[in-house]
Homo-oligomer: A and B are copies of this chain.
Amino acid sequence: MTQRIINFNPGPCALPLPALQTAQAELLDFQGTGMSIMEISHRSKEYEAVHNEAKSLILEHLGFDAAEWDVLFLGGGAHLQFFMVPYNFLGDGRKADYVNTGTWSKGAIKEARLLFPEAIREAASTEADRFDHVPRWEEIEVDPQAAYVHLTSNNTIFGTQWPTLPTKSPVPVFVDMSSDFLARRIDGQAIDLIYAGAQKNAGPAGVTIVVLRKGAVERCRKGISAMLSYKTHLDANSLYNTPPCFSIYMVRNVMRWIRDSGGIDAIEAANRKKGELLYGCLDRNPGFFKPHARPDSRSLMNVTFRLPSEEFEAKLIADAKKAGFQGLKGHRSVGGIRVSMYNAISVANIEALVSFLEEFARTV
């Protein structure tokens, strides 16, 4: 019998057990084909069914109409999207606004500026406050001439998250949703593009999901590299070249698990419950647990906090590991503790962690 631990890794991270069990059961023989899903042609009807089911379920869980949205599966990670977004949507004198809420926002800004140094404006930043919150959307003056405004919806390292995404914007909103994709219901009316590395809520590393409003690619620059053009992949249903088939298959399995778990609303309810439990524990011990994020920007995905000393932090991580809780060390750039509790982490997992934390605070 396999002994599974409780895995709070920030990504790659815990995946839903049923998604893994399905993969394991059929790893040598996918649906009676006599082949592994890894051995099947990406042009076969068996693979295309998986590919298209993954797309459909993503839109279904987002609550996005398939008549208005497309889904792409790309390689290279969200980092490649830092490049592809400006590469496709800027040039020809166009400019863009970026909101800087942490390390990944900065990465996106840096790549965009390498490409178009004069085109990128930081419309807002919370760096002066050590990224302990996200700005209020209403207070940002977005350039109405910008091709898009780019946000990072959740900041894994600092543990902040936009409480809601903008529903009104003078220009299309593009969102890096790598770390809170499909964690809650969102309103997509102001959004034209979402991208997300799969390896938090959607599947294993190796595929990036891009959700694009239909028609948006018409604004993409012409004459660009075929492989780095959204239009290429859109026109080919992400089968222009061999896609990362197994990662997409795993995304399909995870999307089925979301469906079987009651859909996005049930996922969101569990995430909110997990947040109440864990932040509740931190707030009940204010002298001991010091959360990094301001209350109005608290992430439901990554909860970051410090203890009174680094020694306590080291002891907490070591004791937690003995108790079966893995991956609680904060990112090297901020230190402390980070609890990453993506969709596959259950309410029961957080209840268990909270018991451990309460006991630790009481007895250490």
> Hey, which bits of chain A sit against chain B, CB under 8 A?
2-5, 7, 9-15, 17, 20-21, 23-24, 27-29, 33-36, 38-42, 74-80, 82-83, 110-111, 114-115, 197, 199, 204-207, 223-228, 240-247, 250, 324, 326-327
Contact of A76 among B5, B28, B42, B76 (CB under 8 A): B76
Task: Say whether B79 contacts A4, CB under 8 Å.
Answer: no
Q: Using A41-B327, A75-B76, A205-B242 as known contacts, say yes or no to A225 and B111 having CB atoms under 8 A apart.
A: yes
Q: Which residue of B lies closest to A82 (CB)?
A: B227
Query: How far is B47's CA from A13's CA once the two chains are assembled, in angstroms?
Result: 13
Contacts known (A12-B242, A111-B225, A241-B77); A34 close to B3, Cβ less than 8 A: yes
Give which listed residue, B27, B77, B227, contacts A83 with CB less than 8 A. B227
Return chain B residues, CB-CB under 8 Å to A76: 74-76, 80, 227
Q: A110 vs B240: C-alpha distance in the bound complex, in angstroms?
A: 15
Chain B nearest CB, measured from A339 CB (Å): 14
Are B246 and A205 in touch, CB under 8 angstroms? yes
Q: What residues of B have a CB within 8 angstroms of the CB of A245 in the complex?
A: 12, 204-206
Does the CB pair B34–A28 fall under 8 Å? no
Contact present for B7 and A35 (CB under 8 Å): yes
Contacts of A3 in B (CB 8 A): 29, 34
Q: Is the CB of B4 within 8 A of A28?
A: yes
Q: A39 and B13 in contact (CB under 8 A), knowing A83-B228, A205-B245?
A: yes
Least distance between A247 CB and chain B CB atoms (Å):
6
Which of B110, B115, B227 lies in contact with A80, CB distance below 8 A?
A: B227
Residue of chain B at shortest CB distance from A25: B24
Question: Are the C-beta atoms of A75 and B227 separated by less than 8 Å?
Answer: no
Q: Is the CB of B242 within 8 A of A199?
A: yes
